[in-house]
């Protein structure tokens, strides 16, 4: 199963998730719309005048951010996404060749690109680290595009959310993370008990008729504490979490609540900004500052 194939299959409709007019009509909750608003606020607060993005999608976020007066560039692994991204950039009077087709796990290609484009005030990756196999190498790749004192923005799928889902994700988190060092004999007892307490048949694996479904490709969750330590180890400071994609009830109950009421409750929680987000949100953003001496 291929990450590029998955995103090739969604390239033509990818921008709809950022369309404010479809917040209430899109079947899927527009989490990435709120993520983009969050990122724009972070960039405004930092005063960044340039941004490099690893994994641009169809470049809707970059085009929107460019409208805030920030110079933008980036890359993506999906040929179809890069095609749409370049068209999107051109349609908004931006340089289409500021977008490169490359794999962020290809260190050689990234180094060549960085040598050509230089350093930026900010670097971000949204929806990318779930799909890479080496977190440290990926953070190093992001870091290579960032000037000392620059702003680092990294989105991740939040493994702590599984403590609120009461399904197979909860079981996996308890057995694989909380009880990682516990003996197999004890784990088997815990697993048998969890099978009785949790909805281990949920959530269903996401597939689709064309291309690879999201759950058929590498799409990892990350523990926010462990990820923050990895970022810190790369010479970053002032590390902060920002949460989005809130759930006012655990997801398997959503179909028991009026859809409009449920979505209103989700939107009302966006940018709630407290520790609750670590458990109520299925995704988060790490913001950090690159040490001035690096």
The span from the CA of 287 to the CA of 258, in Å, is 35
Tell me the domain boundaries of the chain: 3-161+208-290, 166-202
Q: Which architecture characterizes domain 3-161+208-290 according to CATH?
A: 3-Layer(aba) Sandwich (3.40)
Is residue 265 within 8 A of residue 228, CB to CB? The reply is no
The span from the CA of 204 to the CA of 253, in Å, is 14
pTM: 0.95
Is residue 229 within 8 A of residue 193, CB to CB? The reply is no
Q: What is the pLDDT along the chain (294 residues), one digit of tens a residue?
A: 688 988 898 899 999 999 999 999 999 999 999 999 999 999 999 999 999 999 999 999 999 999 999 999 999 999 999 999 999 999 999 999 999 999 999 999 999 999 999 999 999 999 999 999 999 999 999 999 999 999 999 999 999 999 999 999 999 999 999 999 999 999 999 999 999 999 999 998 777 766 577 878 889 999 999 999 999 999 999 999 999 999 999 999 999 999 999 999 999 999 899 999 999 999 999 999 999 876
Phi and psi torsions of 290, nearest 5°: -75, 130
Unique residue bearing structure tokens 């690893």: 54
The span from the CA of 222 to the CA of 160, in Å, is 8
| Angle between helix 107-117 and helix 135-144 axes, rounded to 10 deg | 20
Is residue 96 within 8 A of residue 73, CB to CB? The reply is no
Strands (E) located in the chain: 50-54, 71-76, 99-101, 120-125, 146-157, 236-246, 281-290
Is residue 285 within 8 A of residue 227, CB to CB? The reply is no
The span from the CA of 146 to the CA of 80, in Å, is 27
């Amino acid at each position: 199963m291929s990450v590029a194939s998955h995103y090739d299959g969604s390239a033509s409709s990818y921008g709809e998730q950022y369309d404010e007019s479809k917040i209430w009509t899109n079947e899927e909750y527009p989490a990435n719309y709120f993520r983009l608003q969050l990122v724009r606020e972070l960039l405004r607060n930092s005063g960044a005048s340039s941004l490099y993005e690893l994994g641009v999608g169809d470049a809707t976020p970059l085009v929107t951010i460019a409208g805030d007066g920030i110079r933008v560039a980036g890359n993506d692994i999906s040929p179809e996404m890069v095609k749409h991204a370049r068209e999107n950039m051109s349609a908004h009077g931006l340089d289409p060749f500021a977008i490169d087709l490359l794999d962020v796990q290809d260190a050689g290609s990234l180094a060549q690109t960085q040598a050509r484009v230089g350093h930026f005030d900010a670097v971000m990756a949204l929806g990318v680290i779930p799909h890479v196999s080496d977190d440290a190498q990926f953070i190093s790749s992001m870091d290579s595009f960032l000037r000392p004192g620059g702003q680092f923005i990294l989105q991740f799928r939040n493994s702590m959310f599984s403590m609120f889902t009461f399904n197979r994700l909860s079981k996996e988190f308890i057995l694989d993370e909380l009880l990682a060092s516990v003996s197999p004999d004890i784990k088997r007892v815990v697993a048998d008990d969890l099978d009785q307490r949790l909805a281990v048949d949920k959530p269903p694996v996401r597939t689709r008729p064309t291309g690879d479904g999201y759950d058929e490709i590498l799409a990892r969750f990350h523990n926010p504490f462990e990820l923050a330590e990895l970022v810190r180890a790369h010479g970053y400071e002032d590390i902060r979490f920002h949460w989005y994609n809130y759930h006012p009830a655990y997801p398997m109950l959503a179909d028991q609540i009026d859809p409009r009421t449920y979505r209103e409750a989700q939107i009302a929680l966006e940018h709630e900004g407290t520790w609750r987000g670590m458990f109520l949100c299925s995704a988060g953003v790490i913001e950090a500052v690159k040490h001035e001496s690096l």
